[in-house]
Amino acid sequence: MNKPSLHDILLLQQRELERLHQEPYVERGLDLHKLGGNLIQVIIGPRRAGKSFFSAHALRKVGSFGYVNFDDERLLDVVDYDEILNCLDTLYGRPKHLLLDEIQNVNRWELWVNRLQRQGRQVIVTGSNSNLLSQELATHLTGRHAQTVLFPFSFPERLKLMNRDLTQAERREVLAQYVEEGGFPEPLVRNLNRREYLSSLLDSVIYKDIVKRFKIRAIQGLEDLVSYLMTNIAQEYSFRTLTGVTRCRSSHTAEKYLRYLEGAFVFFSVKRFSWKVREQVASNKKIYCVDNGLALSKAFRFNSNSGRLYENLVAIALHKRELNRQAEIFFWKCSQTQQEVDFVVKEGLKIRSLIQVCVDIRDPRTEAREVRGLINASKELKCDDLILLTRDVEKVAPTDWFGTRRKIRYIPLWKWLSSVT
């Protein structure tokens, strides 16, 4: 059988794009930066989070555009980028706008994109590996690009799928579903088998984006690491611990594997707060997954009713703010009493908010524990915005603890997620 020409490959992709436009689309809660300007637009985020769909719909508002999906094994050996451009000009009538999907799959892409921009083309690139993209962007595109982070559906975007106004009780019901289903668009929009889809997606990320790209031979160690972390989201970890519970040969290997997983948007870490950078680096971190559905997709030993899933949702919402450089996110822990606060939100030099996640506070002892952590952290960090996220309690409660008086805002999780994501 004859090998398809580059023109034929891009023609098939053009038809796929046309079919994509016929599918239902949920408007995302963010905009591209100055789409008509002279900056290269970089859209990063997990695989299958909707980056190409989002970019294509944004481009349709400004006119026609050319499209290449580099997540296609038939394009991996292409070395003549001018040949790609000539085919795009033929198929799309020399488009001013270009959408280059999963660009990290091809070598020296940043030099080509730079040249396209100098030639007057307006380029959007998408990518699913933050480490590779950040290195290349810092080296070759400094000051000439704008970055947008796109994750799976946020809670407000998940609500849009209902296509009607919802009561508070209905919003809480949707949140209960969202806690376990997560927000990857395709299973929700197309009614696919969610667990099979997400399990296959996770396998693709592990073996295609990590094992193949980084030529990993000891695959079992990476698989063990993923299993352990998925089972322990919202928990502290050290690299010594990760080395001991996996088949990684050294803490250096465990650290490298976790860096790959974070770069591929599977996990992210939250540092323990300290005003001293050295203490931050030396302390344990907490691990979170970019999507609750992904965390549950492999049926790991994880209690699906655990409050850690609710905490993971909060971590995701705050992590997006961090990636967009709107805040820094930490957790707080007192070395003497071991009291904790789930999230410290720092904006510039100021601690803006302290957040606890405790879905069920019907037990007074549980509520007291969460409140004590907030008050003690408030004293140490000089922050008065104290938030306790719950399933359905909403109030502002002045609280005293050994002579310290603070106001604590109790906010239902569905309402808080609606306001920040």
CATH number at residue 21: 3.40.50.300
**Coil vs helix vs strand at 285:** strand
In a domain, 159, yes or no: no
3-state helix, strand, coil in the chain (%, to 5): 45, 20, 35
Q: What is the pLDDT along the chain (421 residues), one digit of tens a residue?
A: 577 899 999 999 999 999 888 888 888 987 776 666 778 899 999 999 999 999 999 898 888 899 999 999 899 888 899 999 999 999 999 999 999 999 988 888 888 999 999 999 999 999 998 876 677 776 767 778 888 899 999 999 999 998 888 999 999 999 999 999 999 999 998 888 999 999 999 999 999 999 998 999 889 999 999 999 999 999 999 999 999 988 888 999 999 999 999 999 999 999 999 998 888 888 999 999 999 999 999 755 555 557 899 999 999 999 999 998 899 999 999 988 889 999 999 999 999 999 999 988 989 999 999 999 999 999 999 999 999 999 999 999 988 877 788 999 999 999 999 988 6
Which pTM does this prediction carry? Answer: 0.94
> Given this model, what pLDDT does residue 263 score?
94
> Given this model, what pLDDT does residue 324 score?
86
* Number of Cβ atoms within 10 Å of the Cβ of 156: 16
Please give the Cα distance from 281 to 95 (Å, whole number).
Answer: 48
In a domain, 172, yes or no: no
What lies within 8 Å, CB to CB, of 169 at 6+ separation is: none
* Number of Cβ atoms within 10 Å of the Cβ of 55: 25
> Given this model, what pLDDT does residue 399 score?
87
Please give the Cα distance from 183 to 205 (Å, whole number).
Answer: 17
Q: What is the residue range of 140's domain?
A: 6-150
Q: DSSP per residue over 134-152, as a string?
A: HHHHHHH-TTSEEEEE--S
* Residues forming beta bridges with residue 124, ordered by sequence position: 41, 99
What lies within 8 Å, CB to CB, of 99 at 6+ separation is: 52, 55, 56, 59, 65, 66, 67, 68, 124, 126
Greatest alpha-carbon span in the chain: 82
Copy the structure tokens of residue 366: 């549980």
In a domain, 60, yes or no: yes
Residue whose tokens read 């991996």: 76
In a domain, 38, yes or no: yes
Residue whose tokens read 């637009």: 41
Q: Residue 311 in contact with residue 415, Cβ under 8 Å?
A: no
In a domain, 20, yes or no: yes
In a domain, 126, yes or no: yes
**Coil vs helix vs strand at 17:** helix
> Given this model, what pLDDT does residue 407 score?
95
> Given this model, what pLDDT does residue 146 score?
84
Please give the Cα distance from 109 to 146 (Å, whole number).
Answer: 17
> Given this model, what pLDDT does residue 82 score?
94
Nearest to 34 by CA among 117, 145, 111, 110: 145
Q: Residue 406 in contact with residue 378, Cβ under 8 Å?
A: yes
What lies within 8 Å, CB to CB, of 127 at 6+ separation is: 42, 43, 44, 102, 103, 104, 133
For residue 51, give the amino acid letter.
K
> Given this model, what pLDDT does residue 330 score?
98
In a domain, 17, yes or no: yes
Number of domains in the chain: 1
What lies within 8 Å, CB to CB, of 112 at 6+ separation is: 81
Length of the chain: 421
**Coil vs helix vs strand at 372:** helix
In a domain, 141, yes or no: yes
Strands 235-237 and 285-289: antiparallel
Please give the Cα distance from 165 to 330 (Å, whole number).
Answer: 35
